[in-house]
Amino acid sequence: MSRLLPVRAWVLAAAAAAVAGWFAAPGPELTPAVVKPRRDNWDLPALPRRAVDRSSLTMVVTAPYWGAALAAAPAPTTAAAEEDPRWRLAAIYAVGDARWALLSFDGSSRPPLRVRVGDRLPGGQKITAISEKDVCVQIGRQSYRLGIERREP
């Protein structure tokens, strides 16, 4: 055991000398760069902002989408159709292959209405297809696509 202690001391001293010699040695000489670094300003100009035309946005929001088709259609005579028909497409959801659309009514105490392909909307239009993003509605001989209306809280 006593003979092992001096060997450990010598190994530890040799390792300490190697580490000290490693850090004490001069580093490699840095060669000057072949190309001088640029000193000009690399700030990019601000991106142009897209101007929003409020008048056309208001025109789209307040447009009577079904105006021409509803004017040509005969007036409904049932009491349910005389109720305020303002509604919006609130959601589209699916369970397996079956798809449904959820209609919510504005300013009414009516609960949301769940509809599927073949059902009729509150205005009498027939739903012909429901995809992931929109609902296809048939008015007369023409088909229209309705997207989900997003509202800010």
Domain residues for the domain of 119 are: 86-148
CA distance 124 to 122: 6
pLDDT at residue 121 tops 90: no
Inside any domain, residue 7: no
Inside any domain, residue 138: yes
Closest Cα partner for 115 from 135, 129, 98, 100?
100
Q: Residue 81 has what pLDDT? A: 45
The predicted model gives 28-45 an average pLDDT of 77
25-40 burial code (b ≥16 CB/10 A, e <16)? eeeeeeeeeeeeeeee
Q: Residue 56 has what pLDDT? A: 64
Inside any domain, residue 124: yes
Q: Residue 79 has what pLDDT? A: 47
The predicted model gives 111-123 an average pLDDT of 89
Q: Residue 55 has what pLDDT? A: 66
Inside any domain, residue 44: no
Inside any domain, residue 153: no
Q: Residue 75 has what pLDDT? A: 53
Q: Residue 66 has what pLDDT? A: 57
Cβ–Cβ under 8 Å, residues 103 and 89: yes
Domain count, the chain: 1
> What would the pLDDT profile of 45-95 be if each residue is shown by its tens digit?
788 877 766 666 666 667 666 555 444 555 555 444 445 567 888 888 888
- In this structure, the dihedral spanned by the alpha carbons of residues 90, 65, 125 and 150, taken in order and rounded to 10 degrees, is 0
Q: Which of 45-54, 75-84, 109-118, 141-150 has the lowest average pLDDT?
A: 75-84
- In this structure, the dihedral spanned by the alpha carbons of residues 63, 50, 91 and 130, taken in order and rounded to 10 degrees, is 80
- Can you give the CATH number for the domain in which 136 is found? 2.30.30.830
Inside any domain, residue 125: yes
Q: Residue 25 has what pLDDT? A: 81
